[in-house]
Amino acid sequence: MRASGRPLGSGFRALFLGSLVSNVGDGIRLAAIPLLAAELTTSPMLVSAVTAAQYLPWVSVAPLGGALVDRHDRRRTILTTQAWRGAVMLVLALLVASDVVAIWHLCVVAFVITAGEILVDPSVVALVPQVVSDEELDTANSRISSVEIVTNDFAGGPAGATLFGFAPWLPFLVDAASYVGSLVPFRGLPGTQAALDADHEEDEASLSRSSTERTTLRAEAAEGLRFLIGHPVLGPVTAATMVYYLGAATGFSLLVLLVIDVAGGVAWSFGVVLAFGAAGAFIGTLTGARLSRRFGTRATMTTATLTEGVALAAMASSTSVGVLAVVWFLGGIPAGARIPVARSLQQRLTPNHLLGRVNVSSRMFTRGVIVVGALGSGALAAAFGVRSTFVVAGAVVVVAGLLFAHALRDVGRSTPAPIATR
């Protein structure tokens, strides 16, 4: 096996650098939007509505997005999408600078940006197995996951909060620049259309499939959905992940209110809490693959999820921003460890020509449930207080850990080979 410190090739380097640049802006935006929402309204329901809008595309346009990822050249899809995402964020920066921004603007922007994420993120996931070998997969996913966490939260969180303090429009302008800037490294990605066509032809020949099955995006999207639901491992894992995200969203949606309103923090302190959580998650991503090799996929994902649930519940009893930051850090470690392990599992169990659709289908369920968690947290906080949402969140994540243990009971230390698509 290749040493984890060695280069993974020019294709992976382009993927890594493009993700790095793009995710810096994402992290800045993810910190700035809740702060702007909290400035525009004091209603927990409206603040949580912005989070809900951010994940609503996963239950509306996601299936067609996955089919587009698998049908078209993934390099071209990434380049086109990043360009118009940059334009959308530029418009938001102008609205904020003109002091005419409203809460509904944030909801619309959150929805549109996530619609682009549905095209870009699965393209990145599907490209990883095409630019590195199978034995390099865990290392590649750990590096991609770590850069997402470091830039989204560790660097992006404090930067977004700080920029917001200087000028509320500035973080959104920087985010727009990051999307445009990512086009430079992403242009170095290999084209994938020929490989996709070859995979389609091989699969159709081996399975004697009718040529009419691929005539519509709907049919292609349904194919990925059938594969995911029918898979003996990925199906139950997706169900467990849905429960996990329901709990995580219940807590994270109102983290900004816990920091600012309950703990008495200021705008930049929210960025600090995000940074502490990201630091923990970064450590987790670096150890997740190693833990999986030593203890197995099942033990790693189950233990990580149970630990994170306990940390989420502990947030409810935190009395200061400093304590919140430390607890968020401790919860970030298992959260980060789970990410590359889960991603590698999906990549290994899914034929590459279906990977975009399967990845989007799984996110359609797991991210879609965040809408329920986000809106539910707002209602829960309005009735029982912000702290109650973290108690409930922790309990739900613990249940998810038990479901992972059941879903992965036949996986253990080994990973089964992909099964046929039919």
Confidence of residue 412 (pLDDT cuts 50, 70, 90): low
Chain segment 16-33, per-residue pLDDT in tens:
999 889 888 888 888 889
How far apart are alpha carbons 301 and 335 in whole angstroms?
Answer: 9
- Please, what are the domains in the chain? 10-185+196-407 (1.20.1250.20)
What pTM was estimated for this model as a whole?
A: 0.67
Q: What residue type is assigned to position 231 of the chain?
A: H
Q: Average pLDDT in the 338-352 region?
A: 86
Q: Which residue has the higher pLDDT, 241 or 131?
A: 241
pLDDT band, very low/low/confident/very high, at 413 (cuts 50, 70, 90): very low
219 with 387: CB under 8 angstroms? no
Q: What is the phi-psi region of residue 408: left when phi exceeds 0, alpha when psi lies from -120 to 50, beta otherwise?
A: alpha
Please state which of the ranges 16-20, 204-208, 295-299, 330-334 shows the lowest mean pLDDT. Answer: 204-208
Evaluate whether 187 touches 21 at the Cβ level (below 8 Å).
Answer: no
Give the whole-angstrom CA distance, residue 131 versus residue 1: 16
* Residue 315 pLDDT greater than 80, yes or no: yes
Which of the four pLDDT bands, split at 50, 70 and 90, describes residue 300? very high
pLDDT band for position 290 (cuts 50, 70, 90):
confident
Distance, CA of 165 to CA of 197 (rounded, Å): 49
User: 196-226, pLDDT tens digit by residue?
Assistant: 554 555 444 444 444 444 457 677 778 888 8
Look at residues 398, 281, 384, 380 and name the one whose alpha carbon lies nearest to residue 340.
Answer: 281
